[in-house]
Amino acid sequence: MSKFHGVDYFGLDGLFDEEELLVRSTVRQFVDERILPDIEDHYRKGTFPSAAIPAMADLGLFGATLPPAYGCAGMNNVAYGLAMQELERGDSAIRSFASVQSSLVMYPIFAYGTEDQKRTWLPRLASGKSIGCFGLTEPDFGSNPGGMLTRAEHTSDGFLINGAKMWITNGTVADVAVVWAKLDNVIRGFLLEKGTPGFTAPEMKGKHSLRASVTSELVFQDVHIPADHLLPLGEGLRAPLACLSQARYGIAWGAIGSAMACYHAALDYAGSRIQFGKPIGAFQLTQAKLVDMVSEITKAQLLCLQLGRLKDSGQVRFQQISLAKRNNVHQALKIAREARTILGANGILDEYPVMRHAANLESVLTYEGTHEMHTLIVGEDLTGIPAYT
């Protein structure tokens, strides 16, 4: 397959500044050199390419938008978005890893933690020396996490937690879990360290998607948490939802990366695969698919860029992020599926990244708010009427 040089049909490169372009090219190279060579192996075996973690840390990809004072890169949101795009061009598992570490672990510590908590955890997490996970979803509470059953009780010197979480990226390998539980009937965040008695995190098996990602259950049986492991500043469902908004922002960008990888593979193949004496890219039915792909990639790029500028200027609304997450993942999935058909029979082989991306995007469509939940979030915003129930 030819080298990837980006997809830029509408001259968007002229809208990025130098640093943004530098982040993109650096991460692109990292993915080409460190991720793509063995990602299909990891996918097949169901393992995460953890050898790449230090390099990701060196690139400043963990907590990338947080301040340098905590060991972070202090990127703007567009640079961060471009990094997520490139990571997901490698595999959704890679971007998911960075999203969890950044948006779901470091962000809540930064936003809701004490200065001590920040100084303790953020540099470790930024450097990749510690890995984090985010425990919100429960087996019976996916789209409405507010119904969670996990409970914290006050003890003399802290809290006792009981309950269980599911679908937790990195749970098994995490050094620290940001766990959400109801304390006095209010949702609160707790930092729970690996090895704490009563806390186990078995890996979930049997996945047909995101196979290069570690997905786990978290089980809490009378787990004692010290008093200073409560995140003091976030209360109520709003606190974890704000983390999800951070993560969704990165997903919206990341989906473009998956779409680009599939489009690139399909365009390449359409140019070289000969049938009936000419490249299949010469057939009208193929061209129609390619044109739809590049149209939707371009539109997704424009959505993300504007979203990033709004985020950097403090004007973004979470419903705008929902719209972009919903649109971009849905379009990426459609693109992956169409790309598969252009590749014909070869499209089912792991020589080509297309079915892996298509399978991954099934998870991405679902996690951090399903397509339907984002429909209803934006729908409420448009009509003023909630229609969730």
| Nearest distance from C-beta of residue 105 to a copy of itself, angstroms | 20
Q: What is the DSSP string of 332-347?
A: HHHHHHHHHHHTGGGG
Nearer to a copy of itself, 56 or 307 (CB): 307
Alpha-carbon torsion 26, 45, 204, 361, what sign? Answer: positive
- According to DSSP, residue 348 is labeled G
Nearer to a copy of itself, 246 or 331 (CB): 331
323 binds a copy of itself (CB under 8 A): yes
10 binds a copy of itself (CB under 8 A): yes
202 binds a copy of itself (CB under 8 A): no
Nearer to a copy of itself, 232 or 271 (CB): 271
Nearer to a copy of itself, 191 or 290 (CB): 290
- 86 catalytically annotated: no
> Which 127-146 positions form the footprint of a copy of itself (CB under 8 A)?
137, 140-144
| Nearest distance from C-beta of residue 13 to a copy of itself, angstroms | 11
Which among 20, 217, 296, 368 is annotated as catalytic? 368
238 binds a copy of itself (CB under 8 A): no
162 binds a copy of itself (CB under 8 A): no
Surface-to-core class of residue 387, CB atoms within 10 Å of its CB (0-12 exposed, 13-18 middle, 19+ buried):
exposed
Q: Residue from 76, 196, 200, 375 that binds a copy of itself (CB under 8 A)?
A: 375
* CA proximity to 7, closest of 237, 276, 296: 296
> Which 253-282 positions form the footprint of a copy of itself (CB under 8 A)?
267, 270-271, 274-279, 281-282
Alpha-carbon torsion 32, 293, 332, 341, what sign? Answer: negative
What the block records as the tokens of 154 is 């006050």
Nearer to a copy of itself, 4 or 141 (CB): 141
Q: How far is CA 148 from CA 20, 72, 366, in A?
A: 39, 32, 18
Other Cβ atoms within 10 Å of 273 Cβ, number: 16
- Determine the interface stretch with a copy of itself among 78-86, 180-188, 239-247, 335-343 (rule: CB under 8 A): 335-343
Contact 90, 61 (CB under 8 A): no
76 binds a copy of itself (CB under 8 A): no
Q: Which residues of 135-144 are buried (b: 16+ CB within 10 A; e: fewer)?
A: bbbbeebbee
- According to DSSP, residue 139 is labeled T
* CA proximity to 39, closest of 351, 294, 278: 351
3-state secondary structure of 132: strand
Convert residues 33-72 into a mask of x (bound to a copy of itself by CB under 8 A) and - (unbound). Answer: -------x--------------------------------
341 binds a copy of itself (CB under 8 A): yes
The values of phi and psi at residue 71, to 5°, are 85, 15
Nearer to a copy of itself, 64 or 303 (CB): 303
Q: Residue from 167, 199, 220, 253 that binds a copy of itself (CB under 8 A)?
A: 167
Q: Residue from 294, 329, 332, 335 that binds a copy of itself (CB under 8 A)?
A: 294
Active site amino acids:
368
